[in-house]
C-alpha cells in the first residue's frame, strides 16, 4: 500500500494518533529533544487559538516567515507558506491580510500548526529552492527490541512547489 499505510499496518490502533495528529507527533519528538521547526501556536477548537482576534494579535507579534500546516493533513495538502516582507505577509509574492489568512483556515473544520519557516542550506536549495527538501528515514523496531533503518530517502520537490511530497508532483 505504500508508506502512507505502513505505520497503520505495523502498529497497534492505540498509536494511530501519533501518526495522524501532527501536534501530538511534535510533542513526542520534542520529548526526545530532536530538532524540528519551532511551533509558534496551534489553531482550532481544542487548541490554543480559537478566534480571529487572538490569531491577528499573535501574527502581529511574530513578524517573520511562517508555515501553516494542517494538524491532521498528509501528503503536503493544505500547507501554506507565508513570507513576511515590508510589514505584510505574502503568499506566492502577493500581499495577504492577516484577516484573510484567518478566514482561509477557519472556514473549514481543519486545525493548523503555525510554525517557523526553516531555511535550508544552499546546497539543498540548489536542488530545489522553492521548497524545503527533506530526508525521510523509516526506523523499524523489531519484536525482539532491536531496530534497523528500513529506508532513507532524500525528497526533492517539483520546481515551483512549496512541498516535497510525491503526491504534489
Residue 46 has what pLDDT?
A: 86
The secondary structure of residue 97, as a DSSP letter, is -
58-66 long-range contacts (CB < 8 A, ≥24 apart) are 58/114, 59/89, 59/98, 59/101, 59/114, 60/98, 63/87, 64/116, 64/117, 65/116, 65/117, 66/40, 66/114, 66/115, 66/116, 66/117
- Interatomic CA distance for residues 7 and 19, integer angstroms: 7
| Dihedrals phi, psi of 83, to nearest 5 degrees | -95, 135
Residue 129 has what pLDDT?
A: 86
Residue 1 has what pLDDT?
A: 38
Please give the order of strands across the beta sheet that includes 112-116. 39-43, 112-116, 66-70, 80-85, 88-91, 94-96
Residue 50: all three cell numbers together: 480559537
pTM for the whole structure: 0.79
Residue 168 has what pLDDT?
A: 58
Q: Hey, is 145 helix, strand or coil?
A: coil
The pLDDT profile of the chain, 169 residues, written as one tens digit per residue, is: 345 556 666 667 777 777 778 888 888 888 888 888 999 999 988 889 999 999 999 998 998 999 999 988 777 778 888 999 999 999 988 999 999 999 888 877 779 999 999 888 899 888 888 888 888 888 877 888 888 888 898 888 777 777 776 655 5
Residue 45: all three cell numbers together: 477548537
Q: Which residue has the cell 494518533?
A: 17
- DSSP states of 14-42: GGHHHHH-HHHHHHHHHHTT---PPEEEE
Residue 141: all three cell numbers together: 523496531
Residue 2 has what pLDDT?
A: 47
End-to-end Cα spacing for the chain: 19
Q: Which residue has the cell 477557519?
A: 106
Amino acid at each position: 500500500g505504500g508508506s502512507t499505510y505502513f505505520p497503520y499496518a505495523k502498529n497497534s490502533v492505540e498509536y494511530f494518533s501519533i501518526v495522524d495528529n501532527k501536534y501530538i507527533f511534535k510533542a513526542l519528538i520534542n520529548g526526545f529533544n530532536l530538532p524540528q521547526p519551532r511551533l509558534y501556536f496551534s489553531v482550532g477548537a481544542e487548541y490554543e487559538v480559537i478566534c480571529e482576534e487572538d490569531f491577528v494579535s499573535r501574527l502581529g507579534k511574530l513578524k517573520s516567515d511562517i508555515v501553516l500546516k494542517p494538524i491532521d493533513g498528509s501528503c503536503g495538502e493544505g500547507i501554506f507558506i507565508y513570507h513576511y516582507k515590508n510589514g505584510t505577509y505574502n503568499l506566492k509574492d502577493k500581499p495577504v491580510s492577516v484577516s484573510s489568512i484567518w478566514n482561509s483556515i477557519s472556514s473549514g473544520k481543519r486545525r493548523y500548526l503555525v510554525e517557523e519557516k526553516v531555511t535550508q542550506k544552499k546546497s539543498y536549495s540548489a536542488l530545489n529552492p522553492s521548497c524545503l527538501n527533506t530526508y525521510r528515514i523509516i526506523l523499524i523496531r523489531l519484536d525482539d527490541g532491536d531496530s534497523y533503518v528500513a529506508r532513507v530517502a532524500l525528497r526533492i520537490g517539483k520546481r515551483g512547489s512549496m512541498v516535497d511530497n510525491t503526491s504534489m508532483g
